[in-house]
Copies of this chain bind each other. A is one copy, B any other.
């Protein structure tokens, strides 16, 4: 109890010197200790986070794969206005502002180029690895070595899968899963551990390559978004300090606001790279990823995605001459859906509406099942990395068995007469029309879907004028298998996108419906497949405009726009009546404190002071070092109110808010005085504003780094220069709903609650993100939801 006793002594000292206010510090601390219900191990209990809660309630904090429970930090988007920053801003020359703009655009350019190259890299390896694997199997099958084919397929898949799983389980668990929920949460202000770390980037790229090549029903699109965000984060942090890769000019971007902008660009670039959809990427960032949007950002993300498009185009031009191995026959090339027929009748419209309704139901059911499976997997994954690898191996074996075993159910179909002889059955290259067990001149339609890359399978399903190529039973088997495999694959320790499984399942469903309704509707079955995919995407992801544009850019056909819009609207509406979108669901499942755009209705019945929790620890304008050190050790608060007191002011008044990170830097500078005097100007000379710039996650000054001597503990430090003198405040009687709107709209981290009546301490409490979480509010007031009938 060394800390505890020292703490007590210091506080007593304060009480002697500082007067009444610091007494309340101690008494409030006591109250808090009592409230925590334990007097035995004070220090341990007091470490329990309050404002920054590393929440541990097990119902909302399920450790599913890829999520590290702790520490979850809030990002800080507020413009700090303290003396130091104001001085810095006044001193900033025009040259510096110009530099800032140039660097901003340079960074956007770099993000575009690097994300484009990452997309190229990923596609190149996936196409080549998967291509050679399929080539091998095809050759074995052509020589009737069926069992060898099975063994080769299974063992190669298993090997790649285990490789991906080992990377993911041992190096960067955060790289598992889609990554879009994590990016979404980051842009909402949640800095979960190592979500955007370089190791995550590395594993995301290679894990995704191995995972997709291993034949899993996963996409590389979601991971590409995460990759883009990681690249943006890495660039924003200025490389690694360890390897002396920091750039001086990056100091302008050492704050959460600019980082958020960069990562938004990264996410947009990721989608642009994954789908070759630059406009779709911008819209994705706007509609799904970003929580706060500025008009200026639109232009910057647009620039980034344009760069990505140019990089991809250059690469494809380069590969056209066959210099990229097996690449060029799939991957980034768009799906060309050129339906000759542009008009449609009302019967077609009815069919499309039917498609949308059923697609919405299937989509929301998909979400429901993914949720259930994730909860189950999290129990397995929690046991340790080796269990993660075993789970991946099991799913890989199942997938291999399905993809090799199910095609035996299908009958052989004679090759269509309009195809050249070398295209059907496929010989010597990874193409469509797999011969499988069939005699020459025939192909196995189910093998054409299963024993192909996912991209090729989608292309087959989308192809127009091929209504006879796939049997009804084939489509049914494929749909059921992919629907189930997609659900059980998401959640294993492999980077796994959701777009491709959903598109695959949706396209086979759409083609199935198209074949069934063939007599009633004139629409092409390929178009039906596209609309089916749209309905599934709308039903699971609940995006509208961005999905619409991505699909249009993917298929390069604008004339079916109204139909795609209609299907998306219907399926989203239907699915919304059942459950949330899949990404929101995963964010919630991971227990990330996501701030919704709207306040909950029951918040109208509460006021701000109703949800203020925990004892308030405040500092004087000129505070004793020991006192600060004690408070920093005692709590994990990230913001402390600073209160000016007599004799400085006639009555105690709120001076502002200091941040923990700024306090640490200030204490490290050791500008202390023996007397309680204002030494602001000294500090202003000693420090520059960018000394207080936010370091990359885990890189700032830590409490343990401070080496404050015993005699320094008794000295004073002037907090005024680093106090944010313009914190946003609400009166304690402010409706909680309106306080929540303020907090969310302005993207705050701390919101000061001030008293309504005079004669009380000038601050009542501080609201943080966690105080607005429904779980917190409903925990305090369980019956509030029912108070209005």
Asked if A569 contacts B728 (CB within 8 A), the reply is no
Check: A299 CB closer than 8 A to any chain B CB.
yes
Which positions 287-307 of chain A face chain B at CB distance < 8 Å?
287, 293-295, 298-299, 302-303, 305-306
Does residue A572 face the partner (Cβ distance < 8 Å to B)? yes
Among A16-55, those with CB < 8 Å from B are none
Decide if A742 touches B757 in the complex (CB within 8 Å): no
A545 lies within 8 A of B651 (CB): no
Chain B residue at minimal CB-CB distance from A733:
B725
Which of A202-210, A384-392, A513-521, A556-564 faces chain B? A556-564
Give chain B nearest CB distance to A744 CB in angstroms: 10
Interface residues of A in 707-744 (CB under 8 A from B): 725-726, 728-731, 733-735, 737-738, 741-742
Identify which of A79, A287, A728 gathers the most chain B CB atoms within 10 Å of its CB: A728
CB pair B726–A566 under 8 Å, yes or no, is no
Which stretch (A117-125, A139-147, A460-468, A546-554) binds chain B? A546-554
Q: Find residues 247-292 in chain A having any chain B CB closer than 8 Å to their own CB.
A: 278-279, 282-283, 286-287
Question: Is there contact, CB below 8 Å, between A549 and B604?
Answer: no
A572 nearest in chain B by CB position: B299
Contacts of A650 in B (CB 8 A): 757
Cα separation A650 to B302 with both chains bound (whole Å): 58
A interface, over-half SS: helix
* Beta-carbon contact of A561 and B309 below 8 Å: yes
CB distance from A339 to the nearest CB of B (A): 14
Query: Given A545-B282, A565-B306, A569-B306, are A738 and B728 also a contact pair (CB < 8 Å)?
Result: yes
Digit string of A736-756 for contact with B (CB within 8 Å is 1, else 0)?
A: 011001100110000000101
Q: How many residues of A contact B (CB 8 A)?
A: 70
Q: How far is the CA of A552 from the CA of B549 in the complex (A)?
A: 11
Contact of A757 among B282, B561, B649, B733 (CB under 8 A): B649
Judge whether A81 and B738 touch: CB under 8 Å: yes
Shortest CB-to-CB span from A672 to chain B, Å, is 27
Q: Is the CB of B746 within 8 A of A562?
A: no
Chain B residues with Cβ below 8 Å from A317 are 343
A646 at the B interface (CB under 8 A): no
Question: When the two chains form their complex, are residues B788 and A90 in contact, meaning their CB atoms are under 8 A apart?
Answer: yes
Chain A 533-553 interface mask (CB, 8 Å, partner B; 1/0): 000000000001100110011
Evaluate contact between B278 and A287: CB separation under 8 angstroms.
Answer: no
- Docked Cα-Cα span, A550 to B475, in Å, equals 37
Chain B contacts for A725, CB-based, 8 A: 733, 735
- A631 to B: closest C-beta gap in Å: 24
Please measure, in the bound complex, the distance between the C-alpha atom of A442 and the C-alpha atom of B594, giving whole angstroms: 70
Bound complex: CA A286 to CA B282 (Å): 12
When distances are taken between beta carbons in the complex, the residues of chain B under 8 Å from A170 are: none
A298 to B725, CA, bound (A): 37
Inter-subunit contact A561/B278 (CB<8 Å): yes
A632 → chain B, closest Cβ, in Å? Answer: 27
Is A89 on the interface with B (CB-CB < 8 A)?
yes
Nearest B residue to A89, CB-CB: B604
Q: In the complex, are the beta carbons of A738 and B79 less than 8 A apart? A: yes
Asked if residues A86 and B298 are in contact (CB atoms below 8 Å), the reply is no
Query: Chain B CB within 10 Å — which of A298, A317, A559, A654 has the most?
Result: A298
Encoded as 1 (CB less than 8 Å from any B CB) or 0, chain A from 566 to 583 comes to 100100100000000000
Q: Is A653 an interface residue (CB 8 A)?
A: yes
Q: Is the CB of A294 within 8 A of B738?
A: no
A730: B residues at CB distance < 8 A: 728-729
CA distance A282 to B298 in the complex (A): 14
Q: Find out whether the CB atom of A302 lies under 8 angstroms from the CB atom of B81.
A: no
Contact pick for A306, options B294, B566, B572, B604, CB 8 Å: B566
CA distance A741 to B748 in the complex (A): 12
Confirm or deny: A647 has a beta carbon within 8 angstroms of a beta carbon on chain B: no
A757 touches B295 (CB 8 A): no
Residues of B within 8 A of A282 (CB): 545
A556 in complex: contacting residue of B558, B649, B734, B758, CB < 8 Å = B558
Q: Is the CB of B294 within 8 A of A597?
A: yes
Provide the bound-state CA to CA distance between A642 and B299, in Å: 44
CB distance A86 to B746 under 8 Å? no
Q: Tell me whether A759 is interfacial, beta carbon within 8 Å.
A: yes
| A309 with B562, Cβ < 8 A, contacts A86-B604, A295-B597, A303-B569 known | yes
The answer to whether A671 has its CB under 8 Å from any CB of chain B is no
- Let me know if A558 and B553 touch, CB within 8 A: yes
Interface pair A742/B734, CB less than 8 Å apart: no
Is there an interface contact between B597 and A757, defined as CB atoms closer than 8 Å? no
CA of A544 to CA of B725 in the docked complex: distance in angstroms?
Answer: 38
A738: chain B residues within 8 A (beta carbon): 79, 81, 726, 728
Contact between chains at B559 and A556 (CB < 8 Å): yes
What CA separation (Å) do A748 and B745 show in the bound complex? 12
- Of chain B, the residue at the smallest CB distance from A568 is B302
27 examples of A-B residue contacts, CB within 8 angstroms:
A79-B741, A81-B735, A81-B737, A86-B604, A278-B565, A279-B561, A283-B545, A287-B298, A299-B572, A302-B565, A305-B565, A309-B561, A309-B562, A310-B566, A313-B562, A549-B549, A552-B558, A649-B757, A654-B731, A725-B733, A726-B734, A729-B731, A731-B754, A741-B746, A742-B746, A745-B746, A758-B758
Give me 5 other A-B pairs in contact (C-beta within 8 A), A86-B605, A279-B552, A306-B569 excluded.
A89-B601, A649-B757, A650-B757, A654-B731, A742-B746
Q: Which residues of A contact B (CB under 8 A)?
A: 79, 81, 86, 89-90, 278-279, 282-283, 286-287, 293-295, 298-299, 302-303, 305-306, 309-310, 313, 317, 343, 544-545, 548-549, 552-553, 556, 558-559, 561-562, 565-566, 569, 572, 597, 601, 604-605, 649-651, 653-654, 725-726, 728-731, 733-735, 737-738, 741-742, 745-746, 754, 756-759, 788
Pairs of residues from A and B, 6 with the lowest C-beta to C-beta distance, nearest first: A758-B758, A306-B565, A726-B735, A90-B788, A309-B562, A81-B735
